[in-house]
Chains A and B, each alone.
Chain A
Amino acid sequence: MKAQAMHAAGNGSTLDVATLVNEEEGWASHRIFTDPDIYALEVERIFNRCWLFLAHDTEIPHPGDYVLRRMSDEQVLVVRGEDGTVRAFLNSCRHRGAAVCRADAGNAKRFSCPYHAWTYDTQGRLLGTSFDQFYNRADFATLGLIPVAQLDTYAGLIFATWDPQAPSLREYLGDYAWYLDIFFRRTPGGMEVLGPPQRWVVETNWKIPALNFGTDTQHAVRAHYGPLAIGERYGGISTAALMQLCQYAPQVSCAHGHGCILIPFPAEMPDFCGFPAELAPLYRQTLQPAQYEFLRRMFTAVGTIFPYTSWIQPVLATVPDKPPAVFVSLRTWQPLGPHKIEVWSWYLAEREAPMEWKREARKTALQTFSMSGLFEEDDAEIWASITQATKGSIARHLPADFRAGFATAPLADFPGPGTAYPGLIPECEQFNLLRYWKRLMCQTA
């Protein structure tokens, strides 16, 4: 394979990648977003090493519940066993490789391959073939579905990795887990998904939206000028006021490429604006004081869990005569090649939230951040145009510029972990994602 040949040729590929992200000057070559050889190396060094988000716990609540998801360039069957434990397996029969499961979700006690009926249980164990007399049954123990190397759950989020040497999920998330708590683990009952995910294809490189959500704020003034102007008419925050907030709000980088921004409300907006009042005491009892303080005044928060899962919690006014609404959306920018992703978008709410509030939250989410979202439909157009405009022979050698606020000094004194920078216009936190990307890409082992 070409990537391996490059690597074998005296670390040529490693040096090549190192020159494509310039950490002294704050730029990255467009090649990292467009080159098929870079992508092939990403599969080995990023996707096959990192912890990847698979599903939310509440998508597969009962024994036998399963979903089909992707991990790197593979399809995996994520199933809750009869014993209640969630496991994930390569969706490929050990006989001749057919997909054992072809439904995207459901409930089953057994998975029987449609080719020769090799049958597996919900723990991936081979129960039998159609012609057991031609096999040594003692071998069956070694012929189960191939499991992922490691699987673990944090705050209801199920992650897995193909790398048996990867540090634990908790170590991989590190300090970032503190921020995930604020959005995904803030009441005793935890969050639940509001239905199966939207899935749609955007012709762009996964790093473009991963950087956008992790975290590009500048684009709000132009790409999202429309919905923000409309929101302002309907009682939402003005773009000018938003930009004021962005001057001081923090952007946060944590180890392993994770990052987020946390925009507080202007002083005149009430605590927990958009949230149902009955949840405040639950937040207080579940969160640490500093986490609770962030949530109490939270206007908009956005982040990316490296490599390609992001989340957003905005407060938005979209129609007149209705108070602004808030929601949590989680999404994966599933790579399907250097120029294509499949977006998976989930909407979540606290289990304890009232039904009516959940309905309204989901409606606002669908209207703003979804395939038809008033914010996202414009983002997708722009991301596709970046890929369009930078994959050619001339453009691919030009730099993507992350120099704004490059030398911003971190805040000395910040109530949350990680490294926080003052203001959202600097591009330093985004660039930190690429710094980590580069480190992984240059690690040969």
Chain B
Amino acid sequence: MTTSLSSSRAVTDREYRQIVEFLYHEAQLLDARQLDAWLELLSDDIEYRIVAPTVASAGASPPPSLVTFMEEDKGSLRTRVLQLTTPAYTVAENPPSFTRRFVANVVATGEGEAGQYAVCSNVLVYRSRGAALPPYLFCAQRQDTLRLVEGRWRIARRLVTLDEAVLGTRNLSLFF
């Protein structure tokens, strides 16, 4: 996510606080499994991707490919949420997992037009599903485009980069 320096601007303390609180609020919704409310935080033209790195030699040229784990728009995210929130439709999330998200290292700059921000954050997502299967700690970075429109914050773009080449858990029935 690179933009020319001339269109980057520092955020005010007030903007930064709002951005961090927005991300915390989003994490609370996801941990509380309020996925329909979470969908409302996404713009209608949301581009939502989850990728993972591949293990490549240092300085490899061309740079190594990323592996895509999710490539979603608002419509396809609605489908996912419909399945995950309908008890009869999901096996992976019925019983539901317990999760706890930790959002940190938030770096924000204003980008492009007024009210648009490039926000980077780190996230740890702890997931457990009872004693039988071990809990799992996902680690990832998020690169977001956030928009503030009429006092409401929305996510217009999110690129989640997981920090593993091989994911050590059986499915990805959750969002980052």
The judgment on whether A and B are partners is: yes
Which of B83-91, B109-117, B146-154 is the interface stretch? B83-91
Do B91 and A378 have beta carbons less than 8 Å apart? yes
How far apart are the CA atoms of A342 and B164 in the complex, in Å?
14
Contact with A226, one of B76, B89, B166, B170 (Cβ below 8 angstroms): B89
Do A104 and B54 have beta carbons less than 8 Å apart? yes
- Residues of B within 8 Å of A384, CB to CB, are 133, 170
Do A223 and B67 have beta carbons less than 8 Å apart? no
- Residues of A within 8 Å of B170, CB to CB, are 200-203, 377, 380-381, 383-384
How far apart are the CA atoms of A105 and B53 in the complex, in Å?
11
B169 at the interface (CB under 8 A from A): yes
A6 at the interface (CB under 8 A from B): no
Which of B6-14, B24-32, B57-65 is the interface stretch? B57-65
Give the dominant DSSP class at A's interface.
Answer: mixed
- Residues of A within 8 Å of B3, CB to CB, are none
How far apart are the CA atoms of A203 and B167 in the complex, in Å?
12
Per the 8 Å Cβ criterion, residues 67-93 of B in contact with A are: 67-72, 75-76, 78-80, 82-83, 86, 88-92
Which of A119-127, A179-187, A362-370 is the interface stretch? A362-370
Do B171 and A371 have beta carbons less than 8 Å apart? yes
What's the minimum C-beta distance from A291 to chain B, rounded to whole angstroms? Answer: 31
What string of 1s and 0s marks CB contacts (under 8 Å) between A174-211 and chain B?
00000000000000000000011111111100000000
Closest to A101 in B: B57
Closest to A341 in B: B170
How far apart are the CA atoms of A197 and B132 in the complex, in Å?
28
A37 at the interface (CB under 8 A from B): no
B34 at the interface (CB under 8 A from A): no
B173 at the interface (CB under 8 A from A): yes
Do A374 and B172 have beta carbons less than 8 Å apart? no
Per the 8 Å Cβ criterion, residues 322-339 of A in contact with B are: 322
- Residues of A within 8 Å of B167, CB to CB, are 199-201, 371
Interface centre among B67, B170, B172, B173 (most CB of A within 10 A): B170
Per the 8 Å Cβ criterion, residues 215-248 of A in contact with B are: 223, 225-227, 229-230, 234
- Residues of A within 8 Å of B56, CB to CB, are 103-106
Closest to B75 in A: A319
How far apart are the CA atoms of A225 and B94 in the complex, in Å?
13
Contact with B57, one of A106, A197, A377 (Cβ below 8 angstroms): A106
B55 at the interface (CB under 8 A from A): yes
What's the minimum C-beta distance from B30 to chain A, rounded to whole angstroms? Answer: 15
Closest to B175 in A: A372
How far apart are the CA atoms of A385 and B171 in the complex, in Å?
13
How far apart are the CA atoms of A371 and B64 in the complex, in Å?
21
Do B79 and A377 have beta carbons less than 8 Å apart? no
What string of 1s and 0s marks CB contacts (under 8 Å) between A96-134 and chain B?
000000111111100000000000000000000000000
- Residues of B within 8 Å of A197, CB to CB, are 67
Do A372 and B75 have beta carbons less than 8 Å apart? no
What string of 1s and 0s marks CB contacts (under 8 Å) between B135-148 and chain A?
00000000000000
Do B92 and A380 have beta carbons less than 8 Å apart? yes
Do A372 and B89 have beta carbons less than 8 Å apart? no
- Residues of A within 8 Å of B89, CB to CB, are 225-227, 229-230
How far apart are the CA atoms of A195 and B68 in the complex, in Å?
8
Do B83 and A103 have beta carbons less than 8 Å apart? no
Closest to A67 in B: B54
Contact with B55, one of A103, A229, A230 (Cβ below 8 angstroms): A103
- Residues of B within 8 Å of A377, CB to CB, are 92, 170-173
Do B80 and A226 have beta carbons less than 8 Å apart? no
Contact with A104, one of B55, B168, B172 (Cβ below 8 angstroms): B55
What string of 1s and 0s marks CB contacts (under 8 Å) between A130-163 and chain B?
0000000000000000000000000000000000
Do A196 and B91 have beta carbons less than 8 Å apart? no
Do A388 and B132 have beta carbons less than 8 Å apart? yes
A–B pairs, 28, beta carbons within 8 Å: A103-B57, A103-B60, A104-B55, A105-B56, A105-B64, A106-B57, A106-B64, A195-B65, A195-B67, A200-B170, A201-B166, A201-B170, A203-B133, A226-B88, A230-B83, A318-B79, A319-B75, A319-B76, A319-B79, A320-B75, A370-B69, A372-B50, A377-B172, A378-B91, A381-B91, A381-B92, A384-B133, A384-B170
Binding site for B on A (CB under 8 A): 102-108, 195-203, 223, 225-227, 229-230, 234, 318-322, 342, 362-363, 366-367, 370-372, 374, 376-378, 380-385, 388
User: Could you list 7 further interchain pairs (A-B, Cβ under 8 angstroms) beyond the known A229-B88, A367-B76, A378-B91?
Assistant: A105-B55, A201-B167, A229-B89, A230-B82, A362-B71, A367-B79, A372-B171
- Nearest first, the 6 A-B pairs at minimum CB distance are A226-B89, A377-B171, A372-B172, A378-B91, A200-B167, A380-B170
